Chain A
């Protein structure tokens, strides 16, 4: 990644200006043209460095329900169980972690009731218990990374 791409990411993680021509305003700060900024943003999205560009919503405000879940999966069955869990469209992301509880995923559903239902279905399908660890309070949600 070029230096200018890093600067673009670092600047635009802080937020896009709320003015009529926001890219032109940001480009000016970065010392490049609006066309260059737009084409670099497109390239960063295409290559997957940026997952998206725009708003990050508070899911609860949009009527959704979310829950972090964990499972202790026997190593020899990991791939198989991962396939079963990921087959549920409600599984938003799934990470392997180095611990006895080695599978961590987030359920994103339309309603809280649906969360409980999907949890039961995953337990039935995999034959393994699932810990549900709903969020009770956010203290900080920055997640700005220096590029």
Chain B
């Protein structure tokens, strides 16, 4: 869905910098855009329900929490099986992200992706072998890419958040 309501757009823009760290943050957020506290709360609840806001809370930097063994794993799975396998893989508790992406054959034929964030590499490797078997993914070509140095991590800039983050 694309946002069109001017009050929603103003609210999203105000939220781009994050929620104010004051006792009544929703009131503070609404004041410059002319929305009352109750309306701000109701609109945020709605934006969560329709999926414009995916999560509403703290966003952690995983390296700073000691999650230094991070593996992106990709599989080459047939089209007709990918949605079923993706849902199954995405339901594994140790997985932090699971996506289907467009492959780029022949150099990169992989289409099913998952991320596992762990504090040590051995644990990540064990989890990976277990879920590969459990989800029936051992039949398919696979690559595991551990992450090294992070060069840049900045908040994404959206059209509505120009200069926001």
Contacts and interface: CB of A to CB of B under 8 A. Distances in A.
Given A41-B21, A61-B52, A96-B151, A136 B156 contact: no
Given A135-B99, A139-B98, A70 B159 contact: no
B90 to A, nearest CB: 3
A44 to B, nearest CB: 8
A59 B157 CA distance: 9
B31 interface: no
B147 to A, nearest CB: 5
Nearest to A141: B97
A108 B59 CA distance: 18
Q: How large is the interface on B (under 10, 10 to 19, 20 to 34, 35 or more residues)?
A: 35 or more
Contact of B19 (A54, A57, A137): A54
A51 B158 contact: no
B60 A58 contact: no
Contacts of B3: 61-63
Contacts of B100: 135-139
A53 B90 contact: no
B62 interface: yes
A97 B65 contact: no
Which of A13, A49, A51, A99 has its CB near the most chain B CB atoms (within 10 A)? A51
A108 B56 CA distance: 21
A92 B165 CA distance: 12
Given A137-B100, A139-B89, A104 B72 contact: yes
A64 B59 CA distance: 20
25 contacts: A9-B58, A12-B57, A20-B27, A38-B23, A50-B60, A53-B18, A54-B17, A55-B53, A56-B53, A56-B55, A62-B12, A62-B52, A62-B160, A64-B157, A89-B157, A94-B151, A95-B151, A104-B145, A106-B156, A135-B100, A136-B99, A137-B86, A137-B99, A139-B86, A140-B89
Interface of B: 1-3, 12, 15, 17-19, 21-27, 37, 41, 44-45, 47, 51-62, 64-65, 67, 72, 83, 86-87, 89-91, 95-104, 107-108, 111, 115, 117, 143, 145-161, 165
Given A82-B151, A133-B104, 8 more contacts: A38-B22, A44-B58, A47-B64, A55-B56, A92-B156, A93-B153, A137-B99, A143-B96
